[in-house]
Structure 1
Amino acid sequence: MEDLQRLYPIGIQTFSNIREGNYLYIDKTEYVYRMTHSSAKYMFLSRPRRFGKSLLTSTLHSYFSGRKELFRGLAIEKLEKEWVEYPILHFDMSTAKHADKEQLLQELNLKLSSYELVYGKAEEEVNPNQRLMGLIKRAYEQTGKKVVVLIDEYDAPLLDVMHERENLGVLRNIMRNFYSPLKACDPYLRYVFLTGITKFSQLSIFSELNNIENISMDEPYAALCGISEEEIRSQMKEDVDGLTKKLEITPEEVLLKLKENYDGYHFTYPSPDMYNPFSLLTAMEKGKIGSYWFGSGTPTYLIKMLDKFNVEPSEIGCKQAKVSAFDAPTETMTTITPLLYQSGYITIKDYDKELDIYTLDIPNKEVRLGLMESLLPHYVANNAEEANTMVAYLSRDIRNGDMDAAMRRLQAFLSTIPQCDNTKYEGHYQQMFYIIFSLLNFYVDVEVRTPRGRVDMVLRTKTTLYVMELKLDKTANEAMEQIDLKNYPERFALCGLPIVKVAVNFDSERCTIGEWRIEKE
């Protein structure tokens, strides 16, 4: 790699700034040409946050502005011959987050006013929909060209109030009113593009706008946002080489680490493996593998919704569902699955064509560890910082094969956690163990079926498989007797690893592990 430091567009979502500033740009312009020359004039794309939706919208803005010079050397340069400049109305709704009714109306007023300075305003236009309709018509009349409407993060004003029924209804009506002219203005429009996190296909906010093509799960656009492995190998070879030097490992080892941490997203099936672009580019810039996506935003609303739907941490991944169950509006959802999928916490992993059923799971290590770190404070009261330190030492104990030391460490740590209502339930401790062991980056599962019952927990390291039975206010001997009586280890005899039985009893009065027994099979 050259001595000149590569510039990465971390947090830069404006296409012209990236091109003029000589930042790394992964060429998606062939998709832009395909989108704008298809039979569909109205398009919607859903992707999780930090996945490049705003950059894509900005790229469309530059394209419809006729700025040919920005696309020099990119795929679209050979495809586009005309480079026409169209009037563009570009609305970024992310500025309307955390808004109440008055604040949302003020935001819409500001956005409309800036374009009314250019195209004018009629006195009788008062409401947002009237003003938007007037703008579209005047822009068409004054330029002689049809209008392009770009709406980025259309659902941003609604996401934070998704669990507040009354507030959601008020804000949804305002946004429905604002978007309503798009269908009536069809004769004046060249192209309409909307992005968001939540799906809109049955969403009441677009009840009148039934002519939008939802390309979110269309195979031709599977790699539209995010970065594919092929793009890493072809357009980021220098970057991989640079990271190789910083980490002092081979290029193939770097690719494996990047894949483990940031890959694994699929928004249809079949689809290339897609990497989270924010995390991938941040890792390149900082020269180390880290958890960057979660650091850019705490999923507080997710935690609220997990509580609302009584979803345990161990239930987040590995789901099977019809597309209608996860490609559904979050405001009417009856399970947590649509929110998990649309927010990027789970993604498509497989598809059974015969049954028309998708398998959904957590995409990668970064998301799994980030989720568990976010959920940990709910199980360890205010001891999250101490818990993370404890987990680091616990990891060493278990890597060394010393489960007895791990149990002593867990016992000491749990005894510092204040008593709460949940400490009277065995399931509380099971989920807490699940989170802690997940943070060790080992395979862990709960309620694993065997021919004679269910194992409370299975933990698999590189060298050992642990079969664990958990009891509350009983004895470790009783837990071990259940393991032996139901012969749980038999289910894992072909795993190729030594099997260790771990029997644990929790003491609800002391809110920690009372006693344990460990035996090799």
Structure 2
Amino acid sequence: MAIYLNTNKPLENYKNLYRSKYFVDKSLIIENLNQLIETSDRYLCITRPRRFGKSSIADMLGAYYSKAVDSKEIFNRLNISKFDYYEEHLNKYNLINISFNKIPEIGKSFDAYMDMIKTSLINDIKEAFPKTDSKKYFTISDMLIDTGEKFIFIFDEWDYIFNNNLFIEDQNNFLEFIRNLLKDQPYVALAYMTGVLPIKKYSSGSALNMFDEFTFLKDRIFDEYFGFINSEVIALCKKMNQLILMN
């Protein structure tokens, strides 16, 4: 069973969110992201404090883009469906979705952490594309290039090891892993990352300089999609009919 590539986990997570009584439709962010697909601006990183809905947005995007699922029924009910062309990218892409906050229970070292990620991803690629023989390639990138397919990458909590002071001596190697996997690779249709603190806090050089970064204090494009804006709070209060909005 796949771990990272073309799984149904994002859709199942998003369905659970959609059914919750506090659900707020943030689907219009998709319209912004669709404009970036297969352009030079296809790398973006959203950084926000915890509890701002970053993982929920990541699940929504995974549910929308992944070709492994059929999510038309749920997205037809959301605001994004008001755009006539919203189906152009709906369930059309191979999706690699990695949450970097998973640490192996056995062998809690950087090597064990990276082996878990790399081995799982290689196995997923082999399962999805049986003609790819991992022994023929030097890198995961070579495997992905040989598929001839386009992929959307969603990396949630990419900076987990930095925030938790893990593997300090190997953190630059982690940055290089992301860089080598994504930068200037022809198979990347879109790369969307979330984190807590700005990239420059961890990467002073060029390791992740392909990313456009949208931070808590410097974001006028995606700001409304993280946390609740005033109109959404008012709508929730009316919906629940028992919450009082304090001025």
Q: TM-score, normalised by structure 2?
A: 0.77
Question: 1:190 Cα deviation (Å)?
Answer: 1.1
Unaligned residue ranges in structure 2 (runs of 5+): 1-10
1:215-272 per-residue CA deviation (whole Å, 9 max, x = no partner) reads: 2222121122111221111244222x234xxxxxxxxxx322xx7xxxxxxxxxxxxx
What is the CA distance between 1:196 and its match in structure 2?
A: 0.7
Equivalence for 2:116: 107
Greater share of helix residues, 1 or 2? 1
CA distance in 2, matches of 1:59, 1:176: 28
Indicate the residue corresponding to 2:30 in structure 1.
32
Q: Are positions 1:184 and 2:184 aligned together? A: yes
CA 41–178 in structure 1, closer or farther in 2 if over 3 Å, else same = closer
The range that moved more, 150-159 or 227-236, is 227-236
Q: Distance in 1 between matches of 2:119 and 2:22?
A: 33
Alignment partner, residue 89 of structure 1: 96
User: Is the counterpart of residue 158 in structure 1 residue 162 in structure 2?
Assistant: yes
CA RMSD of the aligned region, Å?
A: 2.8
2:46 counterpart residue number: 45
Shift of the 22–202 alpha-carbon distance from structure 1 to 2, 3 Å rule, reads closer
Asked if the contact 2:29–2:222 (Cα under 8 Å) also holds between the matched residues in 1, the reply is yes
More strand by share: 1
Letter in structure 2 aligned against 1:104: Y
Structure 2 CA distance, aligned partners of 1:212 and 1:222? 17
Q: 1:122 aligns with which of 134, 139, 142?
A: 134
Q: Percent same amino acid among aligned pairs? A: 20
Q: In structure 2, what is the Cα distance between the partners aligned to 1:179 and 1:13? A: 29
Partner SS, residue 183 of structure 2: helix
CA distance in 1, matches of 2:227, 2:28: 15
> For this pair of structures, how many residues does the alignment match?
221
Q: Structure 2 vs 1, CA of residues 157 and 14 (structure 1 numbering), >3 Å: closer, same or farther?
A: same
Cα distance change, pair 206–238 in 1 and its aligned pair in 2 (3 A): farther
Shift of 1:60: 0.9
Work out the CA distance in 2 between the residues paired with 1:45 and 1:97: 26
1:234 aligns with 2:232: no
Q: C-alpha separation between the residues in 1 aligned to 2:124 and 2:21?
A: 30
Given that 1:93 and 1:153 are in contact with CA atoms closer than 8 Å, whether structure 2 keeps it comes out as: yes
Paired letter, 2:28: E
Structure number with the bigger relative contact order (C-alpha 8 A, sep ≥ 6) is 2
Cα distance in structure 2, aligned partners of 1:72 and 1:206 = 43
Do the aligned partners of residues 107 and 158 (structure 1) sit closer, same or farther apart at CA in structure 2, a change above 3 Å counting? farther
Aligned positions of 1:462-477 closer than 5 A: none
Residue in structure 2 matched with residue 344 of structure 1 by the alignment: none
Amino acid at match of 2:245: L
- TM (norm. structure 1) is 0.39
Q: How far apart, in 2, do the equivalents of 1:195 and 1:235 lie?
A: 26
State how far apart, in whole Å, the 2-side matches of 1:108 and 1:55 are: 22
Q: Show CA shifts across 1:90-148 (max 9, x none).
A: 1110113994223312331353144232234420446xxx12x1343244x2xxx5211
Is residue 104–residue 112 contact of structure 2 (8 Å, CA) maintained in 1?
no
Letter in 2 for 1:96: I
Counterpart of 1:57?
58
Letter in 1 for 2:116: E
SS at match of 1:102: helix
